[in-house]
Structure 1
Amino acid sequence: MSTTRNSSPVSPARERLLVVCPGRGTYNAAEWGTLNRLAGDSDWLKRFDAMRHEAGMPTLSELDGETAFRQSLHGRGEHAAPLIYACAWADLLAIDRERYEVVAVTGNSMGWYIALAAAGALSPEDALHLIGTMGLMMQETLAGGQVIYPWVDETWRPDWALRRELLSLIEGIHGRKGAELYLSIDLGGMLVFGGNEAGLARLSEALPPRERFPLRLHQHAAFHTPLQEAVKREARHELASLPLRAPEVPMIDGRGHVWTPWSTDPERLWDYTLGEQLVAPYDFTAAVKVGVREFAPDRIVIPGPGATLGGATAQALIQLGWKGLDDKAEFQKLQAEEPRLICMGIPEQREWLLARAPVPSLGA
């Protein structure tokens, strides 16, 4: 073992992690029961449940255990968003901090709110309040909807001409015959469009069928578009005293902007979180690229529930050429050798990040 001059042991360098927090749509029937399995006896979940009970809502423990999964119930914003956050929080707490250092945090859409908690810009309870409040506001308003469509080919290689064609549809549809259509999320190798019913209907007619696409996202409003102006106004009033603070680790937002512990103005962070972030496109791809380029992580970690964000993240990494990746096959080969993109919703990948049991000594 290496030693310092005074013969004290040198701790091995911790691996650097970029944490990518999941957004809406990652808690489904297959994930039901995850929260109780991972954190059923935790004090923090009891506090979360107490907050929900006080607000007159079913507790997260009940939704994840006693109440049989129903998409019409569990998929509602006021339930889905807190469930996703709680599952992600359980995963984040499970990471072995003696072996791993979180060097930056980002997220997809609602994952930005989780990132605020993961980076220490909000307490866990204040993050639950934010996430629950925004989930309820979005659900009650449910202005517009979202449609998702891929622009990479079957091997996940970029088709830049197709991307340009897809984006040009927005200009051709928006503002005609009552249609509203916008780019909502730049999601790796996919584009998420947000719009009103007229805009989404015309978009779906214009998009060529491709496997399960175009895909309308269930119980999703037109997030990150001007259709959320009313929600923005209400949120800024309802959450005027949200106690945001400078993060403990850098955060990368939906523009690719980095909020650092030493330069963050909490008022500006509040203004972005409850302002531009709600009504302007969310560039998840840019966030991932900035995270990789600026913070040089050894691994990229996506907390659960589920693993649906893994494909979009991998597609962003292929566009970047991270570790020589240029298509889906190369990514799968790298993952088979040693997972560099770890989805904690996949049990065998989650094990990579947990504290290792001590090896028993000989004769023990």
Structure 2
Amino acid sequence: MTATHTSRTSRRERLLIVCPGRGTYNQGEWGYLARHAGGTEWLARLDAMRRERGMPTLSELDGELPFRLSLHGRGEHASPLIYACAMADIMAIDPERYDIVAVTGNSMGWYIALAAGGALTTDAAMLLINTMGQLMQETLVGGQLLYPWVDAQWRPQPELRDELLAWIPRLHGQEGMELYLSIDLGGMLVFGGNDKALERLARELPPSERFPLRLHQHAAFHTPLQRDVRETARQRLTVTPFQAPATPLIDGRGRLWMPWSTCREALWDYTLGEQLVSPYDFTAALRVGVREFAPDRIVIPGPGSTLGGAVAQTLIQLDWQGLDSKANFQARQAEDPRLICMGIEEQREWLLGR
């Protein structure tokens, strides 16, 4: 099932869908898929695809095998689980009441966006996500480290951002260190690099609450360290399943892929090319989404809700609908939520039941 793009004059509420990436399926999300997609025909197909490859099915991982980060956090398991949970939420959105005007995502969320927007079928996206998760886990080159550049009220601190980015040229190339910007994630920067560079960076950055934060079982996504993964992926995954989306897609550069003008070869080339080895600008993607499509609400499918903070921080940077601080955002959310995290059960029920 894919989102349907309709006229901008539609009276239905306009939604921008923001698909989640890695790190959103944790112990608290165990059982999410069973609750929202258990018994569905499409989940049975995805389970069969996994079974044919000698891998535990998504249903088994989500309901039968007790949650263990060492198991569920592995790329070949975590990525398909997140994909299936997100698709269950997107499929639950009523097209009679909501108009999905565009779809984007964070990092791995780009693969989910391809399915949500109709550029890949549900099964084809599963093959892509399963393959990429397995390749990343098999190589697991380098890692990622997260650090914020906003204050406690989520207001931008551009001087701090400049100071953080200055560590890249300062460390890269010294004593075998490789360090890059991996993701521009709202009010946070995600650095990607080899272990030596990330360990040094973690020592240099001032500790702040739980930061700097090294992400568990994450490779150096969106950096040149993924060149080998890129080449292998391009050999295993062909252009054949790709097609023009039914709904506009916004990629990790802020570029639009429109239903009437997308070249499927170019979409394949970006997905298995530049997207893997260059920084992912989630902030730019969200900026294009809110400015070009003027959504009434922004919806983050489950599992989890960790992407909500990054989205809110970006909206504050953009002064979207007058948002200027965390307190302002929270007050607006309590009155009339404009950002919906479907991984939060109350917000999911609010969106689907209103």
Task: Calculate the TM-score normalised by the size of structure 2.
Answer: 0.97
What count of residue pairs does the alignment treat as equivalent? 346
Unaligned runs of 5+ in 1: 1-10, 357-364
1:16 alignment partner in structure 2: 14
2:73 alignment partner in structure 1: 75
Equivalent residue runs for 1:124-143 within 5 Å: 124-143=122-141
- SS of 1:223's partner is coil
Find the partner of 2:352 among 351, 354, 361. Answer: 354
Find the partner of 1:190 among 188, 212, 215. Answer: 188
- Distance in 2 between the 1:291 and 1:320 partners? 11
Are 1:94 and 1:353, in contact at CA under 8 Å, matched by a contact in 2? no
Are 1:185 and 1:284, in contact at CA under 8 Å, matched by a contact in 2? yes
1:290 alignment partner in structure 2: 288
Equivalent residue runs for 1:124-273 within 5 Å: 124-273=122-271
Which deviates the most, 288-297 or 199-208? Answer: 199-208
1:353: Cα distance to partner? 2.5
Pair 1:317 & 2:315 matched: yes
Are 2:299 and 2:340, in contact at CA under 8 Å, matched by a contact in 1? yes
Per-residue CA distance 1:296-326 (angstroms, 9 max, x = gap): 0000000000000000000000000001000
- SS of 1:148's partner is strand
The structure with the largest alpha-carbon Rg is 1
- Distance in 1 between the 2:269 and 2:10 partners? 40
- Aligned-partner residue type, residue 122 of structure 1: L
- Distance in 1 between the 2:10 and 2:198 partners? 53
Pair 1:331 & 2:329 matched: yes
1:306 alignment partner in structure 2: 304
- SS of 1:354's partner is helix
1:240: Cα distance to partner? 2.2
Per-residue CA distance 1:252-308 (angstroms, 9 max, x = gap): 000000000011000000000000000000000010010000000000000000000
1:12: Cα distance to partner? 7.8
User: How big is the alpha-carbon RMSD for the aligned residues of Structure 1 and Structure 2?
Assistant: 1.0
- CA distance 1:168–1:69, shift in 2 (3 Å): same
Are 1:96 and 1:353, in contact at CA under 8 Å, matched by a contact in 2? no
- SS of 2:120's partner is coil
- Distance in 2 between the 1:52 and 1:112 partners? 21
- Aligned-partner residue type, residue 198 of structure 1: K
- Aligned-partner residue type, residue 105 of structure 2: G
Are 2:141 and 2:226, in contact at CA under 8 Å, matched by a contact in 1? yes
- SS of 2:199's partner is helix
2:107 alignment partner in structure 1: 109
Find the partner of 2:279 among 278, 281, 289. Answer: 281
- SS of 2:107's partner is coil
- SS of 2:315's partner is helix
Per-residue CA distance 1:201-260 (angstroms, 9 max, x = gap): 111111000000000000000000000000000000010245100000100000000000
- SS of 2:226's partner is helix
Task: Calculate the TM-score normalised by the size of structure 1.
Answer: 0.94
- Distance in 2 between the 1:268 and 1:166 partners? 33
- SS of 2:166's partner is helix
- SS of 1:89's partner is helix
- Distance in 1 between the 2:208 and 2:352 partners? 39
1:360 alignment partner in structure 2: none
Unaligned runs of 5+ in 2: 1-8
- Distance in 1 between the 2:89 and 2:108 partners? 17
Structure 1 runs of 4+ aligned residues shifted over 2 Å read none
Are 1:18 and 1:301, in contact at CA under 8 Å, matched by a contact in 2? yes
Are 1:126 and 1:242, in contact at CA under 8 Å, matched by a contact in 2? no
Are 2:299 and 2:341, in contact at CA under 8 Å, matched by a contact in 1? yes
- Aligned-partner residue type, residue 302 of structure 1: I
- Distance in 1 between the 2:10 and 2:341 partners? 24
